[in-house]
Amino acid sequence: MNIGLTGGIACGKSTVASMLVRRGALLIDADRIAREVVEPGTPALTQVIERFGADLLLEDGSLDRKKLGERVFGNTAALKDLEALLHPPIRAAMRERMEAYETQHPDKLVVVDVPLLYESHLQAMYSEVMVVYVPRHVQMERLMKRDGLTEEQANKRLDAQMPIEKKKELADIVIDNSGTIEETEQQIELFWSERGLS
């Protein structure tokens, strides 16, 4: 059994992922895979450099992800080009790991942490999608506190993603993370026992 795990920025997805892992779930992290596919010597890195410029390489031959982010942020065409280069190898690696885990550990829950799951239309890859939810005003407070952002900066980040209320509507499972950590734990425990995973 597998689930896609998603949410919005500053909703506490990592917290929920670690709660699931502590109970025995196997975690695949899409962000980590996204970094691996552009490591030095990979075909994807070569393609990114050909499209966006050799000045994006750091001295050690790795990609300056921050600089690349600045280059594509707010530029729809550039972002589309980047996604066309990176999404296929990322998805292929995610699928490979899911299949390997499901073959080696058929009794375990496989959790795939994908920040932009709905935005990338990946829900069909998973048996169910779990959304970690907090209302937008809580997202704002947490994001400003966590990243030291102004209200305007935080709003821009949130506006760049699908609204959390929309993700909540689309979800198969909603974990409300706006209360205490204990309340979140209880919801995960309930999910775990309902699926017969105990």
Residue 23 has what pLDDT?
97
Assessment of whether the complete model's pTM goes beyond 0.95: no
Show the tokens assigned to 149.
């952002």
Residue 75 has what pLDDT?
87
Q: Give the CA diameter of the chain.
A: 52
Over its length of 198 residues, how does the chain's per-residue pLDDT go in tens digits? 899 999 999 999 999 999 999 999 999 999 999 999 999 999 999 999 999 999 999 999 999 998 998 888 778 899 899 999 999 999 999 999 999 999 999 999 999 999 889 998 999 999 999 999 999 999 999 999 999 999 999 998 898 889 999 999 999 999 999 999 999 999 999 999 999 986
Three-state SS annotation for the chain: CEEEEEECCCCCHHHHHHHHHHCCCEEEEHHHHHHHCCCCCCHHHHHHHHHHCHHHECCCCCECHHHHHHHHCCCHHHHHHHHHHHHHHHHHHHHHHHHHHHHHCCCCCEEEECCCCCCCCCHHHCCEEEEEECCHHHHHHHHHHHHCCCHHHHHHHHHCCCCHHHHHHHCCEEEECCCCHHHHHHHHHHHHHHCCCC
Residue 108 has what pLDDT?
95
Residue 198 has what pLDDT?
67
Residue 173 has what pLDDT?
98
